[in-house]
Amino acid sequence: MPTKQTVTATKSFQIPAWVKGFDFVQGDETEVQAKTEFGDLINSSAAKNFAEGEVFMGRVVNVTDDYVMVDIGYKQEGLVLAKEFRSYDGTLKVKTGDEIQVYLEKLESAMGNLVLSKDKAEILKAWDKISEACERGEAVEGTVIAKVKGGLSVDIGVKAFLPGSQIDIRPVKNLDKYIGKTMEFKVIKFNKKRGNIVLSRRAILQDERGKLRDETLSQLQEGMIVKGIVKNITDYGAFIDLGGVDGLLHITDMSWGRVKHPSNLLNVGDEVDVKILKYDASKERVSLGLKQVQPNPWESAKDKYFPGTKVAGEIVSVKDYGVFVELSDGIEGLIHVSEMSWTNKKAPVKNFNVGEKIEAVVLEVDVENKRISLGIKQLMPNPWDDLANKYPVGKTIEGTVKAIVEFGLFMDVGEEVDALIHVSDISWTKKTTVLTEEYKVGQKIKAAVVSVDRDNQKFCLGLKQLEEDPWKRIEERMPVGSALEGEVVRLTDFGAFVEVETGIEGLVHISEISEERVEKPSDKLEKGQKVKAVVISIDKTAKKIALSIKAVAAGEFKAHYKPEDSSAATLASKLKGFKV
């Protein structure tokens, strides 16, 4: 066994200065021990039981951006990650000289230092308190310090995780607004071994909302005006938190006026006074109204808007049938297309744009149905007012064919309004006229004024009115009983039509063709054949002439000729279906 001796000086050997103060042991192994302050520190640290997994008090000796160096009395210092000391704004909440508790994770890392953790020390310290709160379902207070993946980091004495789904009752998009806020949470999950704590703020809110909901539901009544907070906004309305109970404020009940989108009136978080319109206790559904707590502008509309008064407003909607104009908040009027122009009843609305300012005249006010009729043509002179005086009936004027339609010709006569020559006013005698064959757009023609209807806004001309109606003096040219000559133009089952003048035809009934019995008119007559006949009746109103061929053969043509069986009833039956 080696023996320990103290080194002393002799005459032949002087002790080096650096060796003084050390003891040595002679033998196979030599142990040198320092009797200095450092040696005492080593001996004192050895005396402590530094075991991994325990908590020790230490002193901060150095602080960098990445690590905090802590002396816990061991032979070497330990390192703590600096991020464990950072607050939510990124600043370090530690300085040199601070005494803190740390958890010893490893006695020696790859770099030869102690591995320490402040967070784990705090977790162990607070674990009993947190465990008790979790078991009892009690809330713990904490401060949100940072946004992390999937949620928020909360300081409750130790760092805990708040999942994004547990932040609020409804999904939250902006997590940054919670950073720095102190709130209460419930511990819903923890793992002591891993040091994980999961919190929920949603559970707290649900408990509070449940209590508040029961209280609110017991007080709700239809017709009440209550305060609420805008909780959510959709395309069709907004949900209002009345205190644990959500009510729907539909877009149609937000304003007496037009609302393009609920977000134009409300913002999430706004406090509003609303009226309970309907409350279904069984389904716990509440319908709310915002406009119902405001005066109804239609109640004073009749006193404010009189027919004939001039008003101004803003175009809020353009439809095919007209333009809606907002006269004041909640009051709109319609300018129908028929009230836009005196001359064009189908005035295009494409010239009007939403947002434009416009003036109009009030035509009618219907408060009960919330309608106001407006007009803009009333702000302009009515061209129909002077048209009747300028164009008396019978006056001959010249115009240009503007359009050819199935029922007539539209004429431009140099006025704001167009005139119409109806197909029935083109000829006295022609019953069928192909207008496109006889007239061309741009052709200048003369016509007579037939009528000017201001109320119905119709200006009618005629071509045939330029000549005398040939039927007007027909009885003078071909009196009843006179004989005349004509050409067979049509054959029917009941007789033959004979043209006696240009455009004027008479009917020879089958019974008036011959004294003999005639089965078919075509047995005796043919189209284009020249025949002589006697006029037996004239109806100027219906423009019908009855002829008789057999009367010519019998020589019976005189002023007072009356055919056999010529009673009124018999004659009417012969002329039945006769059209000239």
Give the integer Cα–Cα distance in Å for 248 and 288. Answer: 6
CB atoms inside a 10 Å sphere around CB 311: 19
Give the integer Cα–Cα distance in Å for 281 and 218. Answer: 9
Q: What is the three-class DSSP state of 386?
A: helix
Q: What distance lies between CA 210 and its chain's CA centroid?
A: 35
pLDDT band at 481; cut points 50, 70, 90 = confident
Hey, what CATH class is 297-379 in?
Answer: mainly beta
Pick the more confident residue, 172 or 99: 99
Give the integer Cα–Cα distance in Å for 319 and 314. Answer: 15
Pick the more confident residue, 238 or 385: 238
Choosing among 3.40.50.970, 3.30.420.40, 3.40.50.620, 2.40.50.140, the CATH entry for 220-293 is: 2.40.50.140
Q: What is the three-class DSSP state of 536?
A: strand
Q: What is the pLDDT of residues 211-230, one digit of tens each?
A: 777 777 777 778 888 888 89
Reported in sequence order, the residue ranges of 192-342 that DSSP labels E, i.e. its strands, are 196-200, 225-233, 237-241, 246-250, 271-280, 285-289, 310-319, 322-328, 331-336
Q: What pLDDT score was predicted for residue 370?
A: 85
Whether the pLDDT of residue 200 is over 50: the answer is: yes
Q: What pLDDT score was predicted for residue 346?
A: 65
Q: What is the residue-averaged pLDDT of the chain?
A: 80
**297-301, 476-480, 497-501: range with lowest mean pLDDT:** 297-301
Q: What pLDDT score was predicted for residue 497?
A: 93
Residue 92 per-residue DSSP state:
B
DSSP code per residue over 472-501: TTHHHHS-TT-EEEEEEEEEETTEEEEEEE
Over residues 243-248, the mean pLDDT reads 81
Q: Among 4-18, 120-134, 192-206, 227-241, which range has the highest average pLDDT?
A: 227-241
Q: What is the pLDDT of residues 317-357, one digit of tens each?
A: 898 889 999 888 888 899 998 888 877 766 677 888 988 99
- Residue 155: what are its φ and ψ, rounded to 5°? -95, 110
Choosing among 2.40.50.100, 2.40.50.140, 2.40.440.10, 2.40.128.20, the CATH entry for 474-574 is: 2.40.50.140
Share of the chain above pLDDT 90, in %: 18
Closest to 145 measured CA to CA, from 157, 137, 128, 130: 157
pLDDT band at 75; cut points 50, 70, 90 = confident
Q: What is the pLDDT of residues 116-154, one digit of tens each?
A: 998 888 777 777 777 777 777 788 888 999 889 989 999
Identical topology for domains 220-293 and 297-379: yes
The CA dihedral of 148, 151, 152, 157, to the nearest 10 degrees, is -110
Share of the chain above pLDDT 70, in %: 85
Give the type of residue at 44.
S
Pinpoint the alpha helices (H) of 417-549: 435-438, 474-477
Give the integer Cα–Cα distance in Å for 546 and 511. Answer: 12
Pick the more confident residue, 217 or 482: 482
Are residues 185 and 200 in contact, defined by beta-carbon separation less than 8 angstroms? Answer: yes
Closest to 541 measured CA to CA, from 567, 500, 575, 495: 575
**407-411, 451-455, 487-491, 554-558: range with lowest mean pLDDT:** 554-558
Q: What pLDDT score was predicted for residue 347?
A: 61
Q: Which CATH number does 384-466 carry?
A: 2.40.50.140
H/E stretch holding 62 reads strand 55-63
Residue 230: both structure tokens together: 């805008």
Domain boundaries, the chain: 3-35, 137-205, 220-293, 297-379, 384-466, 474-574
Over residues 427-455, the mean pLDDT reads 85
Whether the pLDDT of residue 415 is over 90: the answer is: no
CATH fold, domain 137-205, is OB fold (Dihydrolipoamide Acetyltransferase, E2P) (2.40.50)
C-alpha pair distances (Å), 26 with each of 11, 14, 250, 421? 21, 18, 99, 145
Give the integer Cα–Cα distance in Å for 1 and 493. Answer: 161
DSSP code per residue over 337-363: GGGT-SS-TT--STT--TT-EEEEEEE
Q: What is the pTM assigned to this prediction?
A: 0.44
Sheet containing 3-6: order of strands? 3-6, 22-26, 33-34
Q: Among 25-29, 104-108, 218-222, 343-347, which range has the highest average pLDDT?
A: 104-108
